[in-house]
Amino acid sequence: MFDPFHIGPVVVDPPVALAPMSGYTTLPMRLLSRRAGAGIVYTELLSATGLHYGSRRTREMMTLAEGERPVGIQLFGTKPEWMAEAARVAEEQGADLVDINMGCAVPKVMKTGAGAALLGTPDRAVEMVRAARGAVGCPVTVKMRTGLREGDDEWLPLAVRLVEAGAAAVTLHARTAAQHYTGNADWAQIAALVREAPVPVIGNGDVDGAGAAVRMLEETGCAGVMIGRAALGNPWIFGQVRATLRGKTPPPEPTPAERGAMALCHLQRYAAQEEERRAVLEMRPLLAHYLQGLPGAKRWRAGVMKATSVAEVRGLLEEFLREAAAWRPGEERTSSFPDESHTTAGGG
């Protein structure tokens, strides 16, 4: 029903992407999302400046695995020559494409002139793409917003210039930077970009399930959709979208036990790559997401927010599942959309 699409030589099949999300889209989440059915995944935004100054942590965060491909490394920065340098490193690390962040509205990033601030310095934004494009053989793409603030209509001509400078695809989070995550994403802007840009457009903003994915593809004509918040603690969403886009019956919702098992598996994978305590601390919010909306989720959340070891999390999970076994049918998950608690801290 909905075909795969290409970004240069990269095939995105099915046409649904895991959004870059800082603090979340580490290697385990990318692998689990790909396995569940995402057609492409992205690292969180990584600093070109950090790389230039030899940040070991930034380099580590560029570690990719074969099983997650196709994968994009997302970079942010302000200096075209450092962006070129960082793009080269990303390609060496095995990135299938390099994505330049022009959407992050977090003050810490914007005040340096990077992220969404680039929408206000269009010549520099164009130079960033040109520099990266000249430095690598893989496609260079851009993720942007619909301007800095309401009424800003410069973003669309800028998007066209970015394509002329070499961007092989554009992802549009259909909100302004000033909106952060408030209000609804304005999908009509995605349709407007589709009409103007002679490259694939990936639509983004408020896709919370297979129905919304289909609606966005149909209403905007975009080549693919990108899912962020709704994929937190919910890799199954990609299987549901994939099946629906292929005209098949979507798999059933995961059971509480499957959710718990996936949360633990995710944590164990992360703890295998990071020091255990650090892994648990960093993964606390994501662990909470996995069981969100289920009875007992509040206690689970309170527990994981204090946990410091994998064993503790396993204990909390066993307790949760013992209680879940006593539920009456129908006492299932109530909300499919993660709460807003992480949306203000996030990038994008």
Q: Which residues bind ligand FMN (CB under 6 A)?
A: 19-22, 24, 44-45, 74, 101, 103-104, 143, 173, 204-207, 227-230, 342-343, 346-348
**CB 72 within 8 Å of CB 45:** no
* Residue 285 beta carbon to ligand FMN: minimum distance, rounded to whole angstroms: 8
Pick the closer one to ligand FMN by CB: 90 or 317. Answer: 90
Q: How far is the CB of 213 from ligand FMN (least distance, A)?
A: 10
Nearer to ligand FMN, 241 or 324 (CB): 241
Angle of helix 122-135 versus helix 155-164 axis, rounded to 10: 20
Decide whether 308 or 341 has the Cβ nearer to ligand FMN.
Answer: 341
104 catalytically annotated: yes
Contact 52, 11 (CB under 8 A): no
Query: Percent helix, strand and coil across the chain, each rounded to 5?
Result: 45, 15, 40
Residues 6+ apart with CB under 8 A from 333: 253, 292, 293, 294
* Burial category of 60 from C-beta neighbours within 10 Å (exposed 0-12, middle 13-18, buried 19 and up): exposed
From 104, 138, 222, 265, active-site residue: 104
Residue whose structure tokens are 């494009």: 133
| Number of neighbouring beta carbons within 10 Å of residue 278 | 12
For the beta sheet containing 201-204, the strands, ordered from the edge strand earlier in sequence to the opposite edge, are 16-18, 224-227, 201-204, 167-173, 140-145, 97-102, 71-76, 41-47
Nearer to ligand FMN, 260 or 347 (CB): 347
**Using the 8-state DSSP alphabet, how is residue 330 labeled?**
T
CB of 229 to ligand FMN, least distance (A): 3
- The Cα-based distances of 210 to 116, 174, 204, 228 in angstroms read 28, 19, 14, 13
- Write down the least CB distance from residue 185 to ligand FMN, Å: 6
Name which of 103 and 200 has its Cβ closer to ligand FMN. Answer: 103
33/340 Cα distance (integer angstroms): 21
State in angstroms the smallest separation of the CB of 242 from ligand FMN. Answer: 16
Smallest CA-to-CA distance from 345 within 300, 282, 294 is with 282
Q: Residue of minimal CB distance from ligand FMN?
A: 348
Neighbour-count burial of 314, counting CB atoms closer than 10 A to its CB (0-12 exposed, 13-18 middle, 19+ buried)? middle
Shortest CB 108 distance to ligand FMN, Å: 12
List residues with catalytic annotation. Answer: 104
